[in-house]
Amino acid sequence: MTNELTTWLDTLLAELDAISVRRTSRRRLRVEVASDALPALLELLRGRASFVHLSAISCVDWIDAGQFELVYHCWSYEIQSLVSVHTRIPREPGVYISVYDIYTPAAFFERDIHEMFGVWFEGSPDLSRFILTEWDGPPPMRKDFDSEAWVNQHFGWQDYHPDWLKNLEARGGGIAVPPDEQRFSRRTVDET
Amino acid sequence: MRPENYEAQSQPPSYDYELNIGPNHPGIEGNYAFKLRLNGDRVIAGRADAGYLHRGFEKLMEGRLWIQNLAITPRICVPDPVPMEVSYCLAVEDLCGLEVPERAQWLRVMQLELSRIAAHFFIFGGHAATTGMYTPMFWGIADRDLILDLFEEMTGGRVYHIYNIPGGVRRDLPDGFGERVTHTLNYLESRLPDYDNLLFTNQVFVHRARGCGPISQQQALEWGVTGPNLRATGLKFDVRRDDPYLVYDQLEFEIPTEDPGDAWARALVRRRELKESIRIIRQVVARLPTLAGPIRCPIPNPLAWNVPAGSTYTRVESSKGELAWYVVSDGGERPYRTHVRGPSQMHAVQVLEQLAIGCRIEDVAQIMFSLDACPPEVDR
């Protein structure tokens, strides 16, 4: 039964246009599709092919190509197979369509991606801040966000040199870290 | 007051008010806030508020070597850390095409199931405490500690083990470890009737838990619920059986299910799963002496390890549900992107907000614990 269904799914997907399908293992299928065809494909997967479980939506920032890659992982309890649907959208302006009306769990993942990557999902029920409630900087998971520079700009450094350490050093002990081995470079956002 | 002096007074009308539960409270295994809107003692609406445990692990992992990230992965979920490191290792192995030796796979299964038992004992105690029974809580923590002792001997760490590396495990079992595991399992199994008497057949618990926060199977599928919470609605799904990894397809175990889908059913599913985990570990202990051979395959110099470009999605069954990693490599010595899908991301946010509507205020903590919500997984 499972094998029949799997074959049927492969045939179904092979008939669609503008889509590339690759079976990476027995239970994994990698599908690449244009961004305007993705909602229709998910609709088909859920409604016609029993892929009722949206396991996750992952976002990858391909900064050199100027694109965000969105990956929708859908699982079918009947076929026992996982389809990863890959699509790419332009990094600017980073707007896409919500699939909340197809998969309810998408609301969480879209909210998360909006917060971490700044992608706006048209029609998502709630894109308010969730984890980074008081954050006012750029979306931190983008590749062009430099955490170290951000820290240097927004937080002060304090040299930890208490009296007990000074006493220790006066007696020839202590730990001296040479400047070129210090981990944090103390560069700021403007210098980068 | 004497009854004849009692005069019924007109009560002020129930009023709407807001109440913040958390970020510190007994309903959950970490810092997490739940903002409630109430009418009297009925919840009208609830809103989950996360972020108190956000440590930016996904961003941190992009800046570290593949091997260094092993120290980060178990910290994503504190009560059940092992599935995190195993699934991350599975992802790296998948990208590199590494073949894990069979002995290492069985050792991983043993570690995974011990961790599941520890997590379930933790949850028994926590769930009992939200219904006002504190003895099972102390018992649960104490019995979990026996597993932690085994972990300490097996891996060197009690909570965070970092026992797995891509390609296998760090070290083999110490001498006589199998007997000590069997001894502990025998003891824990002999304790289960005590738990049944004190907790699972205790009418205080049964009356509080029955009908509390029910999920129908259709709702569970709709909301993306996985793990024991899904099996409590009657669907027989377990990643270990339906999307097998390691050597789970060679092991015999049942997948317990219950039909009602309420807090009571969820507790029962975990109680029965615990017994199955004991059964699995017994099989592993019996099998290990017959498996000689290496415990890890050769890997390149881990400090200069360029993992081939590609992406992979690996799933395991943690004690809370389906846990998955999406790992992308661009061929460099650091991951290009890692994304962790914790089971609690579903049932601790959307599902909890839905279930809280209409329940009474004293049941909120119980619903949270019966769902086994793990905030560090949500925040990452």
pTM, 2 dp: 0.85
Residues in A touching B339 (Cβ below 8 Å): 56, 58-59
Same domain, A6 and A77: yes
Look at residue A122 and tell me if it is in a domain: yes
Distance CA B5, CA B21 (A): 39
Look at residue A91 and tell me if it is in a domain: yes
Per-residue tens of pLDDT for chain A, all 192 residues: 456 656 666 666 666 666 777 777 888 888 888 888 888 888 888 877 788 899 999 999 998 998 999 999 999 888 888 989 999 999 888 899 999 999 999 999 999 999 999 899 998 888 888 888 888 888 999 988 888 888 888 887 777 778 888 888 888 777 766 666 665 555 555 554
* pLDDT: which is higher, A66 or B15: A66
> At residue B29, does pLDDT exceed 90?
no
Identify any residues that bridge with B48 across adjacent strands, giving them in sequence order.
B34
Same domain, A123 and A169: no
Average pLDDT of span B170-193: 91
| Contact between chains at A140 and B349 (C-beta distance less than 8 A) | no
Beta-carbon neighbour count of residue B23 at 10 Å? 17
Res A14: pLDDT: 63
Coil/strand/helix, residue A110: helix
* pLDDT: which is higher, B293 or A68: A68
Same domain, A109 and A79: yes
Which tens digit of pLDDT belongs to each residue from B299-344? Answer: 888 888 888 999 999 999 999 989 999 999 998 888 999 999 988 8
Task: Please write down the long-range contacts of B292-295, taking CB distance under 8 Å and 24 or more positions apart.
Answer: B292/B103, B293/B101, B293/B102, B293/B103, B294/B101, B294/B103, B294/B104, B294/B168, B295/B101, B295/B103, B295/B104, B295/B107, B295/B168, B295/B169, B295/B171, B295/B172
Contact indicator for A32, A72 with CB cutoff of 8 Å: no
Q: Nearest chain B Cα to A79, which residue?
A: B242
Q: Nearest chain B Cα to A24, which residue?
A: B312
**Mean residue pLDDT across chain B:** 87
Average pLDDT of span B177-203: 91
Same domain, A112 and A162: no
* pLDDT: which is higher, A174 or B349: B349
Confirm or reject contact between B377 and chain A (CB < 8 A): no
Res A4: pLDDT: 62
> At residue B30, does pLDDT exceed 90?
no
Res B183: pLDDT: 93
Identify the weakest region by mean pLDDT among A181-190, B183-192, B205-214.
Answer: A181-190
Look at residue A136 and tell me if it is in a domain: no
Res B9: pLDDT: 57
Same domain, A105 and A15: yes
Q: Is A150 exposed, middle or buried (0-12, 13-18, 19+ CB in 10 A)?
A: middle
CATH number at residue A90: 3.30.460.80
The three-point CA angle B121-B127-B214 to 5° equals: 120
Contacts of B6 (CB under 8 A, 6+ apart): none
Identify the weakest region by mean pLDDT among A108-112, B25-29, B32-36.
Answer: B25-29
Residues, chain B: 380
* pLDDT: which is higher, B30 or A164: A164
Give the domain range for residue A177. Answer: 146-192
Q: Structurally, what CATH architecture does the domain formed by B55-323 represent?
A: Orthogonal Bundle (1.10)
Res B149: pLDDT: 92
Instruction: Give the gyration radius of chain B's Cα atoms.
Output: 22
Which tens digit of pLDDT belongs to each residue from B249-283? Answer: 888 899 999 888 899 999 999 999 999 999 999 99
Residue type, B305: W
Beta-strand pair A28-33/A81-90 = parallel
Contact indicator for B72, B61 with CB cutoff of 8 Å: yes
Coil/strand/helix, residue A89: strand
User: Within its chain, how far is the Cα of B273 from the centroid?
Assistant: 12
Supply the DSSP symbol for A65. T
Look at residue A159 and tell me if it is in a domain: yes
Instruction: Provide the token pair at A83.
Output: 């389809």
Domains: count for chain A: 2
Res B284: pLDDT: 92
Distance CA B134, CA B118 (A): 18
Residues in A touching B223 (Cβ below 8 Å): 104-105
| Contact between chains at A104 and B224 (C-beta distance less than 8 A) | yes
Res B118: pLDDT: 92
User: Within its chain, how far is the Cα of B206 from the centroid?
Assistant: 23
Shortest distance between the Cα of B199 and any Cα of chain A, in A, equals 33
Distance CA B179, CA B89 (A): 28
Look at residue A134 and tell me if it is in a domain: no
Same domain, A115 and A154: no
Beta-carbon neighbour count of residue A127 at 10 Å? 18
Look at residue A138 and tell me if it is in a domain: no
Instruction: Provide the token pair at A36.
Output: 């305007």
* pLDDT: which is higher, B23 or B315: B315
Average pLDDT of span B179-204: 91
Number of Cβ pairs < 8 A linking chain A and chain B: 81
Res A44: pLDDT: 82
Res B181: pLDDT: 93
Same domain, A165 and A123: no
Average pLDDT of span B117-127: 89
Confirm or reject contact between B238 and chain A (CB < 8 A): no
| Contact between chains at B242 and A141 (C-beta distance less than 8 A) | no
**% of chain B surpassing 70 pLDDT:** 95
* pLDDT: which is higher, A4 or B89: B89
Same domain, A94 and A185: no
Res B82: pLDDT: 92
Look at residue A188 and tell me if it is in a domain: yes
Look at residue A140 and tell me if it is in a domain: no
